[in-house]
A and B are shown apart, each in its own frame.
Chain A
Amino acid sequence: MAELKISPFRRTQVLKSQIDEMLDVVSQAALAYKHGTEHYVRLGWDATAEQKFQQLCEFEDRGDKLRGDIGQALYTEMLLPDTSGDVLGLLGSLDRLLDDMMHGFMILRIERPEIPPEFHDTWIECAGLAVDTVEQVVVAARSYFRDPKTARDHIHKIHFLENETEDTALRIMEQLFASGLSLDRKMQLRGHVWLIDRVADVADDAGDALAIYAVKRSV
């Protein structure tokens, strides 16, 4: 099929929209993950939780597609010759966040663990902190594309929120193993907490990479 030639201005606008959409997708996926987790913890797996899972799958698919399209456009059109590697690295990190959120929720959907009521609040708090970490990555990434010097203002928040998520996850795991639950349930629930914590870890790695990319762009 013949490739449609578009003007450089139109091409730039399309590519900018795709990058913005990728950031929107990650942000919306984070909200779906947060609300889905909260809903599951309070009410168990039902139609609403299933709907959130389907949303996460769609976001993950869309993220993969956008990442591929953006990468192809950057290389074939020789755009951003000095930073295309960094931009693709950043998009790769965002895509991994989408994968991990979807994967964590998918395990929840398969195993449907019963979470004791005394852990509900801390569990939701932990998921909320992980999602806040992801949100800060999105904010820092938006800054990187427009004003790299200000990206640093958001990156330190990513590290702070990742630490908070880790502390909360650790607290839940300690309480789990101090409780009277059976060992198999303790290990199962620990695995799910670890999946939440991993989302924040991946976001933290993205923040580290973003800090370097921002410094490179500022020079």
Chain B
Amino acid sequence: MAPAFLVFLSSGLFLGWSLGANDAANVFGTAVGSRMLRFSTAAAICAVFVVLGAVISGAGASHGLGQLGAVNALGGSFTVALAAALTVYGMTKFGLPVSTTQAIVGGIVGWNLFSRTPTDLGALTKIVGTWIAAPLLGAAFALVLYRVTEAGIRAAKPHILWLDQWTRIGLVVAGALGAYSLGANNIANVVGVFVPASPFEDISIGGVFTLTGQQRLFLMGALAIAVGTYFSRRVMLTVGRSIVTVGPVGGWVVVMAQSLVLFVFSSQTLQAFLVRLGLPPIPLVPVSSSQAVVGAVCGLALSRGLKGARQIKWAVLRNIALGWIATPAIAAVISYVALYFVQNVFEQPVYRAAVTAAGG
């Protein structure tokens, strides 16, 4: 069972690698783009904290994605993850920061269509809603953070060299937080579709702590992301330099804003806190770090007023937005076609009949 599962899991690992080469790299894009951190340092920090975030806090957002469509056969999980991975890989080749979330959602919708399972419109609306909320929230966080940081610097008047030193430390801390939140939030995209079919069991490590079966699955996905971060240089530079010129302090603001967005959509503690206050809970679903970072970069530019808005390279932004619309559509089409081939050419079951019957 296990070797066969690993073969099927390979598409998920490929998707994890693609996520590492894309979304995970966005965490440090502005820091590397503004030359405050070396690419190798950024990739190493990102890799370590993505793994920690996925294994320790990956469960929340994974549950949210499962509501969209429970892919119930290993062949289906393999194909959906492969469709998403191919979409992300193809978009990455064009240097566009695509969203793995959109790719996997497109893939699951393709599976729903193929298996004639009705798509949960409530869950889909919730997830698509975050595609709009994440960049807006990223922009809002960046705007507020920049104003507060600017006021703080103006009041403290640090020497340019100390400002540089503290900004570097801030970038590492914010980047580590962002990578942790990314691991927690986006691991669902990578191996979430394999959770129902996972053969992993709980294991005790030295009698000190227990690694659950789901955590073992998440660990494998996270390691694939970690490897992918080392292939992210091109996308980092796209995010760091192409949309608007970002200075070191601006780079910190962008990384911090994006980290906060990912944190908001992954933290079960924050969700429980809001519920205790009688406020509506924030849905714990995978959000796109690409959308959050682009929103944050635009928020940073807008915080400088009309002059900043003029600096935004709208043509680059338009191409990114087109990529966002194309990503789920392409993933859904690839998923549908690939499921047909896997089922009819390779004769692998891609969904269980019970679901078909239930779906009508």
Q: Do A and B bind each other?
A: yes
| Contact partner, B38, options A8, A19, A78, Cβ 8 Å | A78
Q: List 26 A-B contacts (CB under 8 A).
A: A8-B165, A12-B161, A12-B162, A16-B162, A19-B161, A78-B36, A79-B161, A79-B164, A80-B160, A80-B161, A80-B164, A81-B34, A81-B35, A82-B34, A82-B35, A82-B247, A82-B248, A83-B160, A87-B160, A145-B159, A145-B161, A146-B158, A147-B154, A147-B157, A149-B154, A217-B160
Measured CB to CB, the closest approach of chain A to B241, in angstroms, equals 12
Are A219 and B160 CB-contacts (below 8 A) given A12-B165, A78-B38, A82-B247?
Answer: no
Q: Does A15 contact B (CB under 8 A)?
A: yes
Q: Which residues of B contact A82 (CB under 8 A)?
A: 34-35, 247-248
Residues of A in contact (CB 8 Å), total: 20
Cα(A8)–Cα(B171), bound, Å = 15
Measured CB to CB, the closest approach of chain A to B49, in angstroms, equals 21
Q: Which residues of B contact A8 (CB under 8 A)?
A: 165, 168
Are A78 and B35 CB-contacts (below 8 A) given A8-B165, A219-B304?
Answer: yes
- Total residue contacts A-B, CB cutoff 8 A: 44
In the complex, which residues 145-187 of chain A have their Cβ closer than 8 Å to any Cβ of chain B?
145-147, 149
Q: Which residues of A contact B (CB under 8 A)?
A: 8-9, 12, 15-16, 19, 78-83, 87, 144-147, 149, 217, 219
- Where chain A touches its partner, the secondary structure class is helix
Measured CB to CB, the closest approach of chain A to B297, in angstroms, equals 15
Closest to A20 in B: B159
Q: Which residues of B contact A83 (CB under 8 A)?
A: 160
Q: Which residues of A contact B38 (CB under 8 A)?
A: 78
| Contact partner, B159, options A78, A79, A146, Cβ 8 Å | A146
Q: Which residues of B contact A145 (CB under 8 A)?
A: 159-161
Measured CB to CB, the closest approach of chain B to A91, in angstroms, equals 13
Cα(A145)–Cα(B158), bound, Å = 8
Known interface pairs A8-B165, A9-B165, A12-B162; 5 further A-B residue pairs with C-beta atoms within 8 A, sorted by A's residue number: A8-B168, A12-B165, A80-B160, A87-B160, A147-B154
Are the CB atoms of A146 and B34 closer together than 8 Å? no
Closest to B153 in A: A147
Most buried by A among B154, B157, B158, B168: B157
Are the CB atoms of B35 and A146 closer together than 8 Å? no
